[in-house]
Amino acid sequence: MGEPILLTTWAFGQAANAVAWPGLLAGGDGLDAVEAVCRHVELDEAVESVGLGGLPDAEGQVTLDGCVMRGPARCGSVCSMSFCPHPVSVARRVMEESAHVMLAGPGADAFSAAQGFEAGVVLSEWARARWAEWRARLPSPFPPTAPSTLGGPSGPPVGDARPAYNPANVSSPASDAARSHDTVAVLALDAAGNLSGGCSTSGMAWKLPGRVGDSPLIGHGLYVHPAHGAAAATGKGELVMGLCSSFDAVERMRSGASPREALGGALGRIREEHDLAADDQVAMIALSPHGEWAGAALRPDYRSALRTTTRDEVVPPDPVLCA
Ligand code: ASP
């Protein structure tokens, strides 16, 4: 039996690790630990980008994304769901009980109900109030969408000359500089030597309805290969999604890179390929099947939460690519 490890994004991960640690230390399966970490954060109303505390989209609707992975043939994912605040558990059920890898929107909600999940509140009062404040500050009202009878996309009412809402044009607390936390992503190595990963998010605050980020996309927000390593991302999904950054990091580990080198390489590609804004942030974590780990970021305002048999710490990123 080996030594277990839990590595979670952001400082809030430390309290979540504490919930999952006893089971993992006692020889429990890493996937149970990953799910327990995410579920803890999903119910923490103080975390404004995950589960119940998650900030909604531009129309005030919370949509949740999450995934779990054990290996290329064992992964599950949901996106744009709002049935209950636990996308990580529904994603696990997709992996274990369906013939599919990913379910979206109403289908994910229907699957949740069919699987016996309890319907639950996903928009906290606090998040709803933040949305109302944000909406009241918009320079021009978000045009109400016109119901379409044609089955095509709906749009602003005919004759409404106001500009369409564009999240790039309004100041938003979704900017990482204004946020203290982000998606929960967690990697675990259990005593039996299995790597597992999971993540859960409400995505970008005030996003366009229908927007899905990197987090529920296998290979983008999370990738696990039992023999080569595991990696996960948090931050602005649009920077990750063109580069399959979690898959990229694991591929680098497969070629012999350490987790630290792999994350430096994957984040370096993000820096190369994007014209980064000053507050654009992506952070990543990586874990090898031998228990080597790393947490790295584009910017220094990121922390990982590490739990091992000898450590229970919040650790700064290394390397930081845009210090
Ligand atoms: N990566 C997530 C997304 O883009 C956001 C986050 O990490 O909070 O949806």
Residue 161 has pLDDT above 80, yes or no: no
Is residue 24, in this structure, part of any structural domain at all?
Answer: yes
Total of domains in the chain: 1
Is residue 30, in this structure, part of any structural domain at all?
Answer: yes
Is residue 282, in this structure, part of any structural domain at all?
Answer: yes
Q: With H, G, I as helix, E, B as strand and everything else as coil, classify residue 269.
A: helix
Q: With H, G, I as helix, E, B as strand and everything else as coil, classify residue 219.
A: coil
Q: With H, G, I as helix, E, B as strand and everything else as coil, classify residue 65.
A: strand
| Ligand 1 atom having least distance to the Cα of 238 | 4
- Nearest Cα neighbor of 11 from 316, 256, 319 is 316
Is residue 138, in this structure, part of any structural domain at all?
Answer: no
Residue 160 has pLDDT above 80, yes or no: no
CA 232 to chain centre: 8
Is residue 321, in this structure, part of any structural domain at all?
Answer: no
Q: How far is the CA of 195 from the centre of ligand 1 (A)?
A: 22
Residue 139 has pLDDT above 90, yes or no: no
Q: How far is the CA of 49 from the centre of ligand 1 (A)?
A: 8
Give the angle 266-296-42 at the CA atoms, nearest 5°. 105
pLDDT of residue 281: 96
Q: How far apart are CA 67 and CA 217, in angstroms?
A: 7
Measured between alpha carbons, how far is residue 31 from residues 2, 12, 90, 187, 306 in Å? 16, 19, 13, 9, 17
Do you find a cis peptide bond into 319, omega within 30 degrees of 0? yes
| Ligand 1 atom having least distance to the Cα of 207 | 9
This prediction has a pTM of: 0.90
Query: Confidence class of residue 167 from pLDDT cuts 50, 70 and 90?
Result: low
- Nearest Cα neighbor of 231 from 241, 217, 245, 246 is 246
Is residue 151, in this structure, part of any structural domain at all?
Answer: no
| Ligand 1 atom having least distance to the Cα of 50 | 8
Nearest CA to ligand 1 atom 4: 237
Give me the active site residues, please: 183
Q: How far apart are CA 276 and CA 296, in angstroms?
A: 17
Is residue 133, in this structure, part of any structural domain at all?
Answer: no
Q: Are 288 and 253 contacting, i.e. CB atoms less than 8 angstroms apart?
A: yes
Residue 142 has pLDDT above 70, yes or no: no
Is residue 49, in this structure, part of any structural domain at all?
Answer: yes
Query: Mutate which of 79, 172, 222, 234 to test ligand 1's pocket (most atoms within 8 Å of Cβ)?
Result: 234
Q: How far is the CA of 242 from the centre of ligand 1 (A)?
A: 14
What residue numbers bound the domain in which 281 lies? 5-122+178-315
Beta strands in the chain (DSSP E): 5-9, 64-71, 74-81, 102-104, 184-189, 195-201, 222-225, 229-235, 282-287, 293-297, 304-307, 312-315
Q: Which residues sit with their C-beta closer than 6 Å to ligand 1?
A: 49, 182-183, 201, 203-204, 213-215, 234-237
Instruction: HSE, CB side, 13 Å, CA atoms: give it for residue 228.
Output: 19
Q: What is the pLDDT of residues 280-321, one digit of tens each?
A: 999 999 999 999 999 999 999 999 999 999 999 999 999 999
Q: What is the CATH number of the domain that holds 115?
A: 3.60.20.30
